[in-house]
Amino acid sequence: MYLDIERMKKEIPMTHILALYGITLRQAGEDRLAGCCPIHHGDNQNAFQVNLLKNLFHCFTRCGGGSIFDFVMKKENLSFYQAGLKIWKTFYNTSHHETPQHQTSTIKLQYHHPYLCQRGIDEKMARYFRIGYSHAGLMKNRIAIPIIDRNNKLIAYCGRAIGSHTSPKYLFPRNFNKSKHLFNIQNILPSSPKPVFIVEGFFDCLHLLKLGFDAVALMGNSISQYQLEILKQLDRAYILMLDGDEAGRKSMQKAKQLIKQENLVCKPVYLVDVIEPESLEYDFLKVLESESSRY
Ligand SMILES: [Zn+2]
């Protein structure tokens, strides 16, 4: 994958990188921050300094210094390319730039559509996720939503019915087993301190993503062993938040037990009064996120 190193160097401030790890420093001059070194974790309050103008850091005790890439390399013990890839994926989200395999051979979509607008998905976001209205084929007169695996490979499309009278509401290809996949899994980076919301539906998930949260959708209200396995491999903290209807609350109980058995770090959040995650506001979600953050 091509990484625009110069662009990242120019556009991403060190403070954004530090925020990724939940690191806070104190102001130590007009364009300088200082604190304990978050790499070697000493207790010298001045060991670690950031020059905001030059966008560089330095640990005066033992870690040395450098750019945003050096920081991620040292912090996570990664190669230059791995660190670059992580930053690129975090800040520029590759699904926009990269065409998943097989994608070109599939359906033509209309990205601006009243139904999508109504669900809060503007054209820009629709293009980004390649979600659009399909005029023809299996997904005819439906909103086609691509399901992509962790290797950025297109697995299938789900066709969401537009009218309330069309059945089924969600149309999947016959050979597709939705319990083996998670929507938006391709955008979840391993081992980040930010928790990942687990929700039921595509539009719940998209709502969270739009507000800047990490989220995946189960594409239903139950969690399978396959899905748990994928989540386990990612080594993240999770927030389980299914719909606030009766079915959703029952599923929460069941999913909670399965998650516990797998020893995932997961906080269950029970919604009430038929509330869906799609209707939740930023501030509420932000509180949940910070409560479950690992750092
Ligand atoms: Zn250090």
pLDDT digits (tens, 9 = 90+) for 140-154: 889 999 999 988 888
Q: Which amino acid is at 218?
A: L
Which domain CATH number covers 77?
3.90.580.10
CB-based contacts of 77, cutoff 8 Å, min separation 6: none
* CA–centroid distance, residue 23 to ligand 1 (Å): 13
Query: What pLDDT is stored for residue 105 in this prediction?
Result: 41
Q: Which of 265, 227, 273, 270 is nearest to 251 (CA)?
A: 270
Q: Which helix (H) or strand (E) holds 151?
A: none
Query: What pLDDT is stored for residue 198 in this prediction?
Result: 97
Please state the domain count of the chain: 3
* CA–centroid distance, residue 5 to ligand 1 (Å): 24
- Taking the C-alpha atoms of residue 169 and residue 12, their distance in angstroms, rounded to an integer, is 41
Q: How does residue 101 score in pLDDT terms, banded at 50, 70 and 90?
A: very low
The answer to whether the pTM exceeds 0.85 is no
Are 15 and 105 contained in the same domain?
A: no
Q: How many CB atoms sit inside 10 A of residue 90's CB?
A: 19
Are 37 and 54 contained in the same domain?
A: yes
CB 50 within 8 A of CB 72: no
Look at residue 100 and tell me whether its pLDDT is greater than 50. no
Count CA within 13 A, CB hemisphere, residue 40: 14
* CA–centroid distance, residue 74 to ligand 1 (Å): 9
Q: Which amino acid is at 9?
A: K
Are 274 and 194 contained in the same domain?
A: yes
* CA–centroid distance, residue 13 to ligand 1 (Å): 19
CB 227 within 8 A of CB 253: no
* CA–centroid distance, residue 70 to ligand 1 (Å): 12
> Which residue range forms the structural domain that includes residue 15?
5-92
Domain membership of residue 182 (yes or no) is: no
CB-based contacts of 65, cutoff 8 Å, min separation 6: 56, 57, 58, 59
* CA–centroid distance, residue 41 to ligand 1 (Å): 7
Write down which residue in 46, 72, 92 finishes a domain: 92
Which domain CATH number covers 247?
3.40.1360.10
* CA–centroid distance, residue 93 to ligand 1 (Å): 29
**Mean pLDDT (the chain, rounded):** 88
Q: Which of 195, 213, 182 is nearest to 266 (CA)?
A: 195
Compute φ and ψ for 155, nearest 5 degrees. -95, -45
CB 111 within 8 A of CB 132: yes
Look at residue 99 and tell me whether its pLDDT is greater than 70. no
